[in-house]
């Protein structure tokens, strides 16, 4: 019998036993099972977060096998899930007095102390567990220790623990990922030390694609872009099927505005795996920046075909169509992007601005009113919202809005000049004149730009006085 056939037979037998056990539970009956089978039933229910059934399994199992260490340890897991921490610790202490060298006891104690916020005790238990585990399993425990330090703001200690994890297994992707996260919130000096650590790993194992890739990511953090791209190239050379290496290289090239090169990298990914919506979107962005708009739209549509509610892709098509001078065609795409994701405020502002530019003022104002509830600091939002209100005949409301914009941007020349302009256009020559004088005193260089914005005020007495101020 092949291993495959044996596995399938075992799975079939487990399913039959589980079905029989389910009937016992339903009918409140009891039948004998080996302790191992009770453990399997328990693990099955716990993995599905069915705590009540898992507890019934353990109670029935312990009734038949009262001295089973493994079942008692699983009993402590139920107590932990039910937040009965004192009972869990008491049971684990009892088991430990009989079986001192079981690492699961210390791992579960660590879980209890972690849940209770006693992270020092949790760390101590993890360290104790290392004494009884196979050294090849130490990397995951060091990651758990690092998580305790991270969650309590001790990132330096977390980094030390993660480096230990990587020394145990220098192909543990999770350890590298957590290390990178810690570095992002640490000092420049710590980032540089970590880069040196990764370089030392590479010196020992030049074909470690993970070390090369994460070194590249860290070099991007350090603004050493060319070295980062070189690191990603080495990662790809070491393992040509490591897709993350290509993606990180593409992202870095885009950050450097080398869009044609980035597109070539992303196309290479197309040839190596089933394309994702995100990959198509990245290609769309590349071609949009290269102003190859038809290709950009093609890839954005491919992203939508993969993921029909991909709001950024709808946004991308809308922006491209607008840049092509086809703003009316852009609107349905932008509206769909808004419907799929009303948290992308920059995209929503763009949608409102196109409505404004097309003269659909009422709809634009509705969009701006939606954004107004977020109390945004963006100058363009306040300027465009006020201008749309003015163009729609509501000058008083425009004055109120632009004043809010001034409060958010007190040092911005355009905001202050616009405030004065709308006051003049509302007929308030006194306050409008005073506001423009204040604007001119603070920002005399902006006067010519102001005239371009409001040519109808170029011969207004309050404006003419500024030239002699």
pLDDT band at residue 285, thresholds of 50, 70 and 90?
A: very high
Question: Across residues 208-234, what is the average pLDDT?
Answer: 96
CA distance readout (Å), 128 to 76, 97, 153, 384: 18, 15, 22, 63
The domain ranges of the chain are 274-372, 375-469
Domains 274-372 and 375-469 share a fold: yes
Structure-model confidence comparison of residues 369 and 3, the more confident one: 369
pTM of the predicted model, to two decimals? 0.81
Residue 254 has pLDDT above 50, yes or no: yes
- Per-residue pLDDT at 53: 85
CA distance readout (Å), 229 to 19, 171, 273, 405, 440: 55, 21, 21, 42, 48
Give the whole-number percent of the chain exceeding pLDDT 70.
97
Q: Taking Cα atoms as reference points, which of 11, 68, 76 lies closest to residue 34?
A: 68
Structure-model confidence comparison of residues 317 and 9, the more confident one: 317
Q: Which fold has domain 375-469?
A: 1.25.40
* DSSP code string of 311-368: HHHHHHHHHHHHHTT-HHHHHHHHHHHHHH-TT-HHHHHHHHHHHHHTT-HHHHHHHH
Tokens at residue 466, please? 């500024």
Residue 73 has pLDDT above 60, yes or no: yes
- Per-residue pLDDT at 387: 96
Tokens at residue 23, please? 């009937």
- Per-residue pLDDT at 10: 59
d(CA 199, CA 176): 13
Residue 58 has pLDDT above 70, yes or no: yes
Reported as a single tens digit per residue, the pLDDT across 2-33 is 445 444 455 667 777 777 777 777 777 667 87
- Per-residue pLDDT at 9: 52
- Per-residue pLDDT at 1: 41
Reported as a single tens digit per residue, the pLDDT across 387-441 is 999 999 999 999 999 999 999 999 999 999 999 999 999 999 999 999 999 999 9
d(CA 183, CA 187): 7
Structure-model confidence comparison of residues 186 and 3, the more confident one: 186
DSSP at 91? H
Q: Which fold has domain 274-372?
A: 1.25.40
Reported as a single tens digit per residue, the pLDDT across 96-144 is 998 888 999 999 999 999 999 999 999 999 999 999 999 999 999 999 9
Q: How many helices (H) and strands (E) does the chain have?
A: 27, 0
Structure-model confidence comparison of residues 336 and 469, the more confident one: 336
Mean pLDDT, the chain, integer: 92
Q: End-to-end alpha-carbon separation of the chain, Å?
A: 99
Give the whole-number percent of the chain exceeding pLDDT 90.
80
d(CA 346, CA 361): 19
């Amino acid at each position: 019998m092949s291993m495959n056939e044996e596995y399938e037979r075992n799975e079939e037998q487990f399913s039959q036993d589980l079905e029989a056990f389910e009937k016992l539970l339903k009918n409140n009956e009891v039948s004998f099972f080996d302790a191992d089978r009770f453990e399997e039933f328990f693990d099955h229910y716990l993995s599905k977060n069915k705590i009540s059934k898992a507890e019934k399994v353990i109670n029935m199992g312990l009734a038949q096998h009262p001295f089973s260490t493994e079942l008692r340890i699983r009993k402590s897991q139920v107590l932990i899930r039910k937040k009965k921490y004192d009972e869990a610790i008491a049971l684990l202490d009892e088991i430990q007095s009989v079986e001192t060298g079981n690492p699961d006891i210390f791992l579960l104690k660590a879980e209890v102390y972690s849940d209770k916020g006693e992270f020092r005790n949790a760390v101590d238990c993890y360290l104790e567990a290392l004494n009884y585990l196979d050294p090849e399993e130490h990397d995951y425990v060091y990651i758990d220790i690092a998580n305790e330090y991270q969650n309590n703001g001790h990132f330096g200690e977390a980094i030390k623990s993660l480096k230990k994890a990587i020394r145990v297994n220098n192909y543990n992707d999770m350890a590298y990922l957590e290390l990178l996260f810690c570095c992002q919130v640490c000092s420049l000096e710590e980032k540089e030390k970590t880069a040196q650590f990764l370089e030392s790993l590479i010196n020992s194992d030049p074909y470690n694609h993970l070390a090369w890739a994460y070194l590249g990511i860290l070099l991007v953090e350090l603004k050493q872009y060319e070295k980062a791209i070189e690191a990603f190239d080495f990662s790809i050379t070491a393992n040509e099927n490591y897709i993350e290496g290509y993606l990180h290289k593409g992202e870095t090239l885009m950050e450097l505005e080398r869009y044609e090169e980035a597109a070539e990298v992303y196309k290479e990914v197309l040839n190596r795996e089933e394309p994702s919506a995100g990959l198509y979107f990245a290609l769309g962005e590349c071609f949009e920046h290269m102003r190859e708009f038809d290709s950009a739209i093609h890839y954005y549509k491919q992203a939508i075909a993969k993921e029909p509610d991909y709001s950024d892709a709808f946004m991308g098509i809308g922006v491209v169509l607008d840049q092509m001078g086809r703003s009316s065609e852009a609107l349905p795409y932008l509206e769909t992007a808004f419907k799929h994701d009303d948290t992308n405020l920059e995209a929503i502002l763009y949608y409102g601005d196109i409505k404004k530019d097309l003269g659909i003022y009422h709809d634009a104002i509705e969009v701006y009113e939606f954004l107004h509830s977020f109390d945004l600091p963006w100058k363009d939002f306040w300027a465009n919202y006020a201008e749309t209100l003015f163009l729609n005949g509501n000058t008083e409301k425009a004055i109120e809005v632009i004043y809010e914009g001034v409060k958010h941007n007190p040092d911005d020349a355009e905001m202050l000049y616009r405030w004065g302009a709308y006051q003049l256009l509302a007929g308030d020559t006194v306050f409008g004149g005073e506001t423009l004088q204040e604007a001119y005193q603070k920002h005399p260089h902006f006067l010519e730009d102001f005239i371009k914005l409001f040519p109808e005020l170029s011969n207004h007495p309050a404006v003419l006085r500024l030239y002699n101020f």
